[in-house]
Amino acid sequence: MRYVSTRGGAPELSFSDTVLAGLAIDGGLYVPQSWPQLSADLPNDYASLATAVIAPYAAPDINSTTLLGLSRAAYSSFRHEEVVPLVSLEDGHHLMELFHGPTLAFKDVALQLLGQLFDHILSAKNERVRIVGATSGDTGSAAIDGVKHCSNVDIVILYPNGRVSEVQRRQMTTVDSPNVHTIAVDGTFDDCQDLVKAMFNDMPFRERHNLSAVNSINWARIVAQVVYYVEAAHRIGRTIDVTVPTGNFGNVLSGWIAKQMGADIRHLVVASNSNDILTRFFESRDMAVTGVEPTLSPSMDIQVSSNFERLLFEMNDRDGGVTAQQLSRFRSTGHLVLEPDQFSTWIAPTFRAGRCDDDQTLRTIRSVHESTGMLIDPHTAVGVSVARQWSETGVPMVTMATAHPAKFPDAVERATGVRPKLPEHLADLMTLPERTKALPNDLSTVQSYIDSL
Ligand X SMILES: *Cc1c(COP(=O)(O)O)cnc(C)c1O
> Which residues bind to ligand X, rule: CB under 6 A?
105-107, 138, 216, 245-251, 299-300, 379, 402-403
Q: How far is the CB of 270 from ligand X (least distance, A)?
A: 9
Give yes or no: 407 in active site.
Answer: no
**Side-chain-side CA neighbours of residue 444 (13 Å):** 0
Q: How far is the CB of 1 from ligand X (least distance, A)?
A: 23
Strand ranges (E), 224-342: 240-245, 265-272, 286-288, 335-337
Asked whether the beta carbons of 436 and 389 are under 8 A apart, the reply is no
Q: Which is nearer to ligand X, 8 or 245 (CB)?
A: 245
Q: How far is the CB of 252 from ligand X (least distance, A)?
A: 6
Closest-CA residue to 261 (of 40, 18, 28, 5): 40
Q: 271 forms bridges with which residues in the sheet?
A: 245, 354
Q: 3 forms bridges with which residues in the sheet?
A: 13, 32
Q: How far is the CB of 321 from ligand X (least distance, A)?
A: 27
Query: H or E element: which one contains 89?
Result: strand 86-90
Strand ranges (E), 273-361: 286-288, 335-337, 351-355
Q: Which is nearer to ligand X, 224 or 439 (CB)?
A: 224
Q: Which is nearer to ligand X, 77 or 402 (CB)?
A: 402
Q: Which is nearer to ligand X, 161 or 216 (CB)?
A: 216
Q: How far is the CB of 63 from ligand X (least distance, A)?
A: 29
Q: How far is CA 398 from CA 257, 310, 376, 411, in A?
A: 17, 24, 15, 23
Closest-CA residue to 405 (of 390, 396, 415): 415
Q: Which is nearer to ligand X, 216 or 385 (CB)?
A: 216
For the annotated catalytic residues, the residue numbers are 107
